Amino acid sequence: MRFLFLILMILPGFAMAAGGATEPTTTKTSKECKGVKVWDKKTKTCVDPQDSSLDQDELLQAVRELAYAGRNDDAQGVLRQLHDQNDDLVLTYWGFTNRKLGNRALANTFYTRAITLNPDNILARSYMAQGFITEGRVEEAIAQWREIKARGGVGTWAEASLRQAIRTGLTYNY
């Protein structure tokens, strides 16, 4: 299931490389659920993440959706409910939400932990490097872009969005 989630994260990159930006799927989690709640398709209600029928990958998708909607505190509430806090994607989203909340040093700590666990986590590399761009640390962003390419990430959303951020100085929110 984790492999499927990674594929879903990478495939949108091809649309980005072809000229169109991709966004997370919007569901009732971000449209109808308030606070730290997720839409449970089985019960057709908004529920606490720990009470949902969603697996870790589905909860990570809810985290991404909430973060894209600007609900980073709620996204972190869902992250807190995930059983494997040492999963590199969980750490990646802890980094992302902390960066969006302005906690740059803490974000980089999470990204670094994710990359240490999985050096091929190109999403963590891209998000961390986009933070570097906003901080004016372009050389460090370029180093991560090179790592992404070296790890087979050419043409993925992670690589294409970072390449564009390096070129323009504009970063992505998802």
Which 3 state secondary structure label does DSSP give 25? Answer: coil
* pLDDT tens digits along 60-102: 999 999 999 999 999 999 999 999 999 999 999 999 999 999 9
Return the DSSP state at 174. -
The pLDDT of residue 90 is 97
Contact 164, 91 (CB under 8 A): no
Question: What is the average pLDDT across 91-114?
Answer: 97
In a domain? residue 174? no
Which 3 state secondary structure label does DSSP give 40? Answer: strand
Averaged pLDDT of the chain: 88
Residue 131 is part of a domain; what is its CATH number?
A: 1.25.40.10
Which 3 state secondary structure label does DSSP give 47? Answer: strand
How far is Cα 77 from Cα 93, in angstroms, rounded to an integer? 12
Reading the block at residue 87, the tokens are 């999963």
* pLDDT tens digits along 9-35: 444 433 333 222 356 789 999 999 999
In a domain? residue 99? yes
pTM: 0.84
Enclosing domain of residue 57: 2-168
Comparing CA positions, the residue from 16, 158, 14 lying closest to residue 89 is: 158
* pLDDT tens digits along 117-130: 999 999 999 999 99
In a domain? residue 24? yes
Contact 144, 95 (CB under 8 A): no
Is the pLDDT at 174 greater than 90? The verdict is no
Is the pLDDT at 162 greater than 90? The verdict is yes
Number of structural domains (the chain) is 1
The pLDDT of residue 22 is 55
In a domain? residue 173? no
What are the contacts of 58-61 at 24+ separation with CB within 8 A? 60/5, 60/89, 60/90, 60/93, 61/5, 61/8, 61/24, 61/25
